[in-house]
Structure 1
Amino acid sequence: MKWNLRWAAAKRDIWRPSDLLPVFEAVGFTPSLSKVAALWSGKPISVRLDDLDKICAALGCTVADLLEAEPVAIVDGEHEQPQRAVGDSGTAGGPVRPTSRRGGQRRSLPPN
């Protein structure tokens, strides 16, 4: 996802994160300046839905204006392969079991 808070703010002639604070407070959203700066400077890891609603109300935009879907990354022209367990040959069969380093000999059990 692409985070477009700066673009949505620029449409309202807001150019700095500190200018967002009074706009947010007008709709009852009172984040700290550091939180606003984090939202402004990059793509947030998570945003609460009620915060997202308040941001949209403050900027007069929709969620689609703030979040834009990006295509999935393709590695070397191929889709990424699903992860497999170490030693999995990809063939159907029983579960993959590790082998011992002593030529397949089983170890004895420890004493009770």
Structure 2
Amino acid sequence: MKWNLRWAAAKRDIWRPTDLLAAFKEVGFNPSLSKVSAMWGSTPISVRLDDLDMICQALNCTVVDLLEAEPVEVRRPSDQDLPKAVGESGPGGGAARPTPRQPRGDGLRSLPPN
């Protein structure tokens, strides 16, 4: 989302956070100057709906004037990005499992260490 508070305020000839605070107080919205400065300087993480209504009332605008949807680019994984199975070497693949050892010719096992 794009936050257009400064644009909406400029339409009402408000150019500083202190002027915006005065406009808010006219409609009964009393945030701190630091909160207004934070909203003025960057996009807020969250805004309460009650606060959004008061901002719109103070600036004589709508939510559409304050918030603008921006398309998000979705990256789809290609075949090269997908995880491969153990032992798979290329597009044709390889042995998916290791091959077992061939038994010795005499059939005897060695003894464990002492």
Find the counterpart in structure 1 of residue 60 from structure 2: 60
Residue identity opposite 1:79 in structure 2: R
Give me the identity figure in percent: 70
Structure 1 regions of 5+ residues with no counterpart? Answer: 82-86, 90-112
How far apart, CA to CA, are the structure 1 residues paired with 2:77 and 2:59? 38
**1:88, distance to aligned residue in structure 2 (A):** 9.2
- TM-score, normalised via structure 2 length: 0.66
Find the counterpart in structure 2 of residue 45 from structure 1: 45
Residue identity opposite 1:42 in structure 2: S
**Pair 1:6-2:3 in alignment:** no
- TM-score, normalised via structure 1 length: 0.67
Find the counterpart in structure 1 of residue 30 from structure 2: 30
How far apart, CA to CA, are the structure 2 residues paired with 1:73 and 1:60? 33
Question: Structure 1 stretches (4+) deviating beyond 6 angstroms?
Answer: none
**1:60, distance to aligned residue in structure 2 (A):** 0.2
Q: Secondary structure at the match of 1:38?
A: helix
**Pair 1:79-2:76 in alignment:** yes
Whichever of the two has the greater Rg, that structure is 2
